[in-house]
């Protein structure tokens, strides 16, 4: 069955860096678009970044552009999010999610359980 | 940037019908997806492309989209439907995914 398992979250000081990972299994990872989505405590969902199946197309939310970098290693079935210059407002649970292949508008059909990132001094 | 507006809360009695709206400028021209999120859990896709259901999602969940409003309808509401619901679209003008503000459904 499809599984997405995030890791790498934790407590980091403002201005610091963190790298999140998402290990995928149960499907052909290299065939699917992937995204990171976050949710601040008690708040709604916010899309963070998208990467195409080959990694050739990448998009970022305005709130993280220039600070975050999404990447993938199809040989390792893994998705990454490098987060630099972290701010308090980046505190959230970060989910990796798979883009469904059965729709051209690519909804997110599978999500990981999330990893918590806390930015605080 | 494109904005999706949802009512903060909807209350419904068991067995009745819940309707959750998602407002956006000419949203009828976009494909709308809906997610259910229960406390402490990851979101689950319940409707995609306005009105299609992924396998395993009950027929009680349906959707529609026209003009400036998309709607998720939950028929014969059950206690287990109590959750937060989010609409979502792809905004091609900005190359951004956009989520709605979210609606908490309470089963009375």
Give residue A41's pLDDT.
Answer: 97
* Mean pLDDT value across residues A59-64: 97
Angle A73-A78-A83 from CA coordinates, rounded to 5°: 90
* CA B94 to each of CA A56, A59, A104, A119, B89: distance values in angstroms, whole numbers, following the listed order: 18, 9, 17, 28, 12
Among left, alpha and beta (phi > 0; psi -120 to 50; other), residue A56 is alpha
Q: What are the two backbone dihedrals, phi and then psi, of residue B28, each rounded to the nearest 5 degrees? A: -60, -20
| CB-nearest partner of B86 from A45, A103, A104 | A45
Nearest CA-CA distance, residue B63 and chain A, Å: 15
CA–CA dist B92, B82 (Å, integer): 32
Contacts 24+ apart (CB under 8 A), A4-7: A4/A96, A4/A97, A4/A98, A4/A110, A4/A111, A4/A112, A5/A112, A5/A113, A6/A94, A6/A95, A6/A96, A6/A112, A6/A113, A6/A114, A6/A115, A7/A115
Nearest CA-CA distance, residue B102 and chain A, Å: 6
Give residue B6's pLDDT.
Answer: 98
* Mean pLDDT value across residues A31-38: 97
Give residue A31's pLDDT.
Answer: 94
Give the single-character DSSP code of A66: T
Low-confidence ranges of chain B (pLDDT < 70): none
Give residue A102's pLDDT.
Answer: 80
Is residue A107 within 8 A of residue A100, CB to CB? The reply is yes
| CB-nearest partner of B49 from A37, A45, A105 | A105
Chain B CA closest to residue A113: B42
Do the chains contact at B98 and A47, CB–CB below 8 Å?
Answer: yes
- Dihedral sign of CA atoms B56, B61, B62, B63 in order: negative
Give residue A103's pLDDT.
Answer: 81
| Chain B residue numbers touching A109 (CB-CB < 8 A) | 45, 48, 54
Give residue A105's pLDDT.
Answer: 83
| Percentage of chain A lying above the pLDDT 70 cut | 100
Do the chains contact at B35 and A59, CB–CB below 8 Å?
Answer: no
Give residue B93's pLDDT.
Answer: 93
Among left, alpha and beta (phi > 0; psi -120 to 50; other), residue B59 is alpha
* Mean pLDDT value across residues A36-44: 98
| Chain A residue numbers touching B97 (CB-CB < 8 A) | 35, 37, 47, 50
* Mean pLDDT value across residues A15-26: 98
Do the chains contact at A44 and B101, CB–CB below 8 Å?
Answer: yes
Q: What is the token pair recorded at A89?
A: 């407002």
Do the chains contact at B42 and A45, CB–CB below 8 Å?
Answer: no
Is residue B21 within 8 A of residue B7, CB to CB? The reply is yes
Give residue A77's pLDDT.
Answer: 98
| CB-nearest partner of B48 from A35, A59, A100 | A100
Partners of A97 in the beta sheet? A35, A111
- Helix, strand or coil, per DSSP, at residue B71: strand
């Amino acid at each position: 069955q499809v599984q997405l398992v995030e890791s790498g979250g934790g407590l980091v000081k403002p201005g610091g860096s963190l790298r999140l990972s998402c290990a995928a299994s149960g499907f052909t990872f290299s065939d699917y678009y992937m995204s990171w989505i976050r949710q601040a405590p008690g708040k709604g969902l916010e899309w963070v970044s998208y990467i195409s199946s080959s990694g050739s197309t990448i998009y970022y939310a305005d709130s993280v552009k220039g600070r975050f970098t999404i990447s993938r290693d199809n040989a390792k079935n893994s998705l990454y999010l490098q987060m630099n210059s972290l701010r308090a407002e980046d505190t959230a649970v970060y989910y990796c999610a798979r883009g469904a292949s059965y729709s051209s508008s690519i909804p997110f059909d599978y999500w990981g359980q999330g990893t918590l990132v806390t930015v605080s001094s | 940037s494109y904005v999706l507006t949802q009512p903060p809360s909807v209350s419904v009695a068991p067995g009745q019908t819940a309707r959750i709206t998602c407002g956006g400028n000419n949203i009828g021209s976009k494909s709308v997806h809906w997610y259910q999120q229960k406390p402490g859990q990851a979101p689950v896709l319940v409707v995609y492309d306005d009105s299609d259901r992924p396998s395993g999602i009950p027929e009680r969940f349906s959707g529609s989209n026209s003009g400036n409003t998309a709607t998720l309808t939950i028929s014969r509401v059950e206690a287990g439907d109590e959750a937060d619901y989010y609409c979502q679209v792809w905004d091609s003008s900005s190359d951004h995914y956009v989520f709605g503000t979210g609606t908490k459904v309470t089963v009375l």
